[in-house]
Amino acid sequence: MSQAQFDSLIFARWMITVETDGEILENHAIALKDGRIAVILPAAEARQLVADEVIELDRHVLMPGLINLHGHSAMTLLRGLADDKALMDWLNNHIWPAEGRHVRDEFVFDGSLIAMAEMLRGGTTTINDMYFYHGAVARAGLSSGMRTFVGCSILEFPTNYGVNADDYIAKGMAERREFLGEERITFTLAPHAPYTVSDDTFRKVVTLAEQEDMLIHCHIHETADEVAGSIEQHHQRPLARLQQLGMLSPRLVAAHMVHLNDEEIELVARHGVSIAHNPTSNMKLASGIAPVQKLLAAGVNVGVGTDGAASNNKLDMLAETRMSALLAKVGTLDPTAVPAATAIRMATLNGAKALGIDDQVGSIKAGKQADLIAVDLATIETAPTFDPVSHIVYAAGREQVTHTWVAGECLLKDRVLTRLNLADLLAKGEDWRGRILAKGE
Ligand SMILES: CSC[C@H]1O[C@@H](n2cnc3c(O)ncnc32)[C@H](O)[C@@H]1O
Ligand SMILES: [Zn+2]
């Protein structure tokens, strides 16, 4: 038995705590015990502490792990199959047919694991996922060690996974029961979008979410066509319809929310809805620019997501953080919109708040789970460093992430994945390439 006071001691040149916007601790250390941050101290004082393992990060910034607030992990296996299209053409004529040909349990497990390897290598510690075959997503989460929110997708039309909304709900809830008690796995209810889910089903989702204390994850107001289609079919904009159905509450993580008027911004603020901003997917599908600056000014909690690898096409949360800052500026023609420290908070603490885990993760604070990343800033791309916050958002690349911890467990150490075997995953990807080409893209 070890006599050490702590499991690990991590010394870092800089720490971005995210406790206060832009706060940087220089030459500090944190001590970890049982997966949590026990103490944060100036390095000189921390040298007196005893730990089983001492990690020296004298070129690095240590910061909270990035929280990917909206993704479809398994879609890594469809990456690059349909580019340069608008959302409904992309879905109706390319992605849904391809999913019909290929998506099964094994596809979802392998695709999700490949996604998690990519995300862990880029400093993402939590994924809020939404796809099919939820048991496979959860098993991939358990294998990789990532904190995984598994969205039980719900649609009215049949897919390989379900025949109708009731069937999706029943299957999702049954799969959830197998993973209750797994600390890093949480199931959510994921009605796909207002244009694929009926009023009756939304009402059932709200009731079930309240009964089971679950989050709801849904694509909302992604395109101008979605809003126009809702006016035509329901004589209401999607948000007004969802408000009537009881969907707007702090349980809701609304993905995209690009096309909002000022009244709708007030509405989501009043109901405590969180938003997953997906800047790259919104640019690539030409969906538009979400009014992030106005949303933040109204007090709305906005986090950051990648969306799937078939619409981004990267699962790179550092890049997404940068895009969040840049797109806000070009969208408003205001260079002060979404400053770097705000973008970092969006990609960490705001994501945690949306998922109801901001008391556990999202910032460097004693008592919180040690979901952390280290980024080497002493490379030619980021040397010299005047302000680590600036470099993390505007200059550093995901290749500079050297370490990723979830609950104190190091899942990426000196750029090597500790649980996943990259060569095996590459072989699986190659195998899927052959199978997809054989059956038709
Ligand atoms: C039922 S959840 C998974 C479902 O959603 C599809 N999807 C992926 N990206 C988007 C997006 O940006 N908007 C709407 N739907 C999307 C995915 O292909 C799955 O079928
Ligand atoms: Zn999506």
- CATH number, domain with residue 347: 3.20.20.140
The pLDDT value given to residue 96: 96
Residue 441 maps to a domain: no
Nearest protein Cα to ligand 1, atom 19: 131
| Average pLDDT value for residue range 411-416 | 98
Q: For residue 425, give the H/E element and its range.
A: helix 422-439
User: From the CB of 226, is ligand 1 less than 6 Å away?
Assistant: no
Which of 70, 72, 130, 258, when mutated, tests ligand 1's pocket best, judged by the most ligand atoms within 8 Å of its CB?
72
Residue 38 resides in a domain: yes
**What band does 1 get if pLDDT is binned at 50, 70 and 90?**
low
By most ligand atoms within 8 Å of CB, the mutation choice from 68, 75, 89, 91 for ligand 1 is: 91
Residues 208-228 pLDDT 10s: 999 999 999 999 999 999 999
**Amino acid letter, 98:** A
What pLDDT band is residue 252 in, cutting at 50, 70 and 90?
A: very high
Q: Are residues 81 and 139 in the same domain?
A: yes
Out of 90, 99, 160, 192, mutate this one to test ligand 1's pocket (max ligand atoms within 8 Å of CB): namely 192
| Residue 166 domain-assigned (yes or no) | yes
Is residue 22 located within the same domain as residue 104? no
Establish whether residue 279 lines the binding site of ligand 1, counting it when its CB lies within 6 angstroms of any ligand atom. Answer: no
Question: 182 and 319 in one domain?
Answer: yes
pLDDT over threshold 80, residue 344: yes
**Within this chain, do residues 224 and 117 fall inside the same structural domain, yes or no?**
yes
For the record, the structure tokens of 235 come out as: 């004589």
What is the extent of the structural domain holding 135? 66-354
Q: Do residues 172 and 60 both lie within one domain? A: no
Q: From ligand 1's centre to the CA of 106, what distance in Å?
A: 19
Same domain? For 80 and 187 the reply is yes
CA of 142 to the centre of ligand 1 (A): 23
The model's confidence at residue 86, banded by pLDDT at 50, 70 and 90, is very high
Supply the pLDDT for residue 65.
99
Residue 65 has what DSSP assignment? P
Clarify whether residues 241 and 121 are in a common domain. Answer: yes
Cβ density class 286-303: b for 16+ within 10 Å, e for less? ebbebbbbbbbeeebbbb
Q: Let me know: does 400 contact 375? Beta carbons within 8 Å.
A: yes
Residues 6+ apart with CB under 8 A from 263: none
Residue 439 has pLDDT above 90, yes or no: no
How far apart (Å, rounded) are the C-alpha atoms in residues 72 and 2?
Answer: 42
Helices (H), 180-338: 199-212, 224-234, 238-244, 262-271, 279-284, 292-297, 317-332
The helix or strand, by DSSP H or E, that contains position 351, with its residue range, turns out to be helix 351-354
Model pLDDT for residues 55-64, shown as the tens digit of each residue: 999 999 999 9
Closest CA to 196 of 255, 164, 156: 156
Are the C-beta atoms of 230 and 205 separated by less than 8 Å? no
Out of 95, 153, 226, mutate this one to test ligand 1's pocket (max ligand atoms within 8 Å of CB): namely 95
* Check: complex ipTM more than 0.95: yes
The residue whose CA has the least distance to atom 12 of ligand 1 is 307
* Nearest atom in ligand 1 to 285's CA: 12
**From the CA of 286, which ligand is nearest?**
1
> With a 6 A CB cut-off, is 281 part of the ligand 1 pocket?
yes
* C-beta atoms surrounding 55 within 10 Å: 21
Which residues line the annotated binding site?
A: 70, 72, 99, 192, 219, 222, 307
**The pLDDT of residue 71:** 98
Q: How far is CA 255 from the centre of its chain?
A: 11
Asked if residue 75 and residue 55 are part of one domain, the reply reads: no
Strand order in the sheet with 6-16: 36-42, 24-33, 6-16, 51-64, 372-376, 401-406, 409-413, 416-417
Annotated binding site for substrate: 99, 192, 222, 307
User: Half-sphere exposure of 64 toward its Cβ, with a 13 Å CA cutoff?
Assistant: 31
Same domain, 208 and 87: yes
In a domain, 147, yes or no: yes
Do residues 227 and 287 share a domain? yes
Q: What is the mean pLDDT of the chain?
A: 97
Query: Is 434 among the domain residues?
Result: no
Q: What are phi and psi of 128, to 5 degrees?
A: -100, 100
pTM (whole model) above 0.90:
yes
Q: Residue 276: nearest ligand to its CA?
A: 2
Any ligand 1 atom below 6 A from CB of 128: no
Does 102 contact ligand 1 (Cβ within 6 A)?
no
Q: Which CATH number is 20's domain given?
A: 2.30.40.10
Chain segment 373-394, per-residue pLDDT in tens: 999 999 999 999 999 999 999 9
The reply to whether 151 and 55 lie within a common domain is no
Number of structural domains found in the chain: 2
Residue 430 domain-assigned (yes or no): no
Mean pLDDT, residues 271-297 taken together: 98
Does 363 reside within a domain?
no
Q: Are 150 and 129 in contact (CB under 8 A)?
A: yes
Q: Locate the ligand 1 atom nearest the alpha carbon of residue 222 and give its number.
A: 13
Residue nearest to atom 8 of ligand 1 (CA): 308
Residue 201 falls inside a structural domain:
yes
Query: Is residue 70 scored above 70 in pLDDT?
Result: yes
For residue 23, give both structure tokens. 């706060």
Average pLDDT of the residues in 145-150: 98
Mean pLDDT of 258-264: 98
Rounded distance between C-alpha atoms, residue 68 and residue 65, angstroms = 10
Residue 72 and residue 59 share a domain: no
Instruction: Classify residue 115 as exposed, middle or buried by CB count within 10 Å of its CB (0-12, 13-18, 19+).
Output: buried
CA of 359 to the centre of ligand 1 (A): 30
The DSSP output letter for 263 is H
